[in-house]
Amino acid sequence: MDANKIKSADILDILFDGRNKEYGAYDLRKTYNKRIRYSIIGMITLCALLFVGSIIANNAPKEKKAEVVVDMELAKVDEAKKPEPPPPPPPPKQEPPKVEMAKFTPPKIVKDEEVKPEEEIKEVEKLEDTKIGTINQEGAKDEGIVAPPPEKGTGVVEAPKVEEDYDKVFTVVQIPASFPGGASAWIKYLERNLNRDVPNDNGAPPGKYTVIVSFIVSKTGAISDVVAENDPGYGTKAEAIRAIQKGPAWTPAVQNGRNVIYRHKQSITFQVSED
């Protein structure tokens, strides 16, 4: 480089004098300040946009959100044993028939006036049909037939068993009907199939709206007769019935080892909040 140009030359020109400036290093160092300046301006612009966007999002009107709360109710099993009826009283004790008996009096020589009537020796002719014993007793003549001994009862008479009607609709059973997979699978099914926005779409104010639904689970697990016992409004009753009618078959209830018809009761709560 000429000595006259050194005073006015840039440090990069002096550094790269006589070298290949097209290689790339020269251009990178030459434009370094410009690129730094553009990067700082771009970062400031991006931060400003994010800041303004957050302010706009916080000031925007909030929409109402609806949630579905499923209240699981388990049927209460009446495990308390019913008091058994008292056994009937034992039959009256039958005493064997009395047989005429004459007291045996050993012979003893005494005066006639000292003989007591009960100690008087009976004549042999009068004792043919009479048993000899230790007392005098009136009764039937002894005909040589021994009366059977009275039967001894146990004193316990079993009450007749009442056959249960297994074709009726049960509300209390030993094993209630259940959704396939258990309670957790039932909750997941309702969360996926219930339209939780129904009360919000129908203008329901914030709050909870509980629908009590009952339905029949047959001996094969089929669902039928789905009815709502109340109606909180805003379309919640129809939506709860629709979701249950759409569901699969259940595991039937069991009573005494048999599948029975069971009416299950379920409460479903729609919750509308401001957040």
Q: What is the pLDDT of residue 58?
A: 81
Give domain 66-80+164-273's CATH architecture: 2-Layer Sandwich (3.30)
Q: What is the pLDDT of residue 45?
A: 94
Give whole-number Cα distances, 33 to 24, 27, 39, 40, in Å. 16, 11, 10, 11
- Identify residue 81 by its one-letter amino acid code: K
pLDDT digits 0-9 by tens, 149-168: 555 555 566 666 667 888 89
- Tell if the pTM clears 0.75, that is, is over it: no
Tokens representing residue 100 in the block: 């005429």
pLDDT of residue 191 exceeding 60, the answer is yes
Query: Cβ(216)–Cβ(223) under 8 Å?
Result: yes
Share of the chain above pLDDT 70, in %: 57
Q: Distance between CA 7 and CA 14 in Å, rounded?
A: 10
Helix ranges (H only) for the chain are: 3-6, 11-15, 25-30, 32-59, 183-193, 198-201, 236-245
197 phi and psi, to 5 degrees?
A: -90, 5
Each residue of 122-136: pLDDT tens digit? 565 555 566 666 666
Beta carbons within 8 Å of 272's beta carbon, 6+ residues apart = 64, 65, 66, 67, 199, 200, 204, 205, 206, 207, 208, 209
Model confidence at 25, pLDDT cuts 50, 70, 90, reads confident
Nearest to 195, CA basis, from 233, 235, 227 = 235
pLDDT higher than threshold 90 for residue 261? yes
User: pLDDT, tens digit, for every residue of 38-82?
Assistant: 899 999 999 999 999 888 888 876 655 556 666 665 455 555 556
Distance CA 72, CA 74 (A): 7
Q: Is the distance from CB of 273 to CB of 67 less than 8 angstroms?
A: yes
Q: Band of the pLDDT at 10, cuts 50, 70, 90?
A: low
- Average pLDDT score over the chain: 77
Residues 6+ apart with CB under 8 A from 33: none
What does the domain layout of the chain look like in residue ranges?
Answer: 3-57, 66-80+164-273, 95-149
Q: Is 249:215 a contact under the CB 8 Å cutoff?
A: no
Pick the range with the lowest mean pLDDT from 157-166, 180-189, 261-270: 157-166
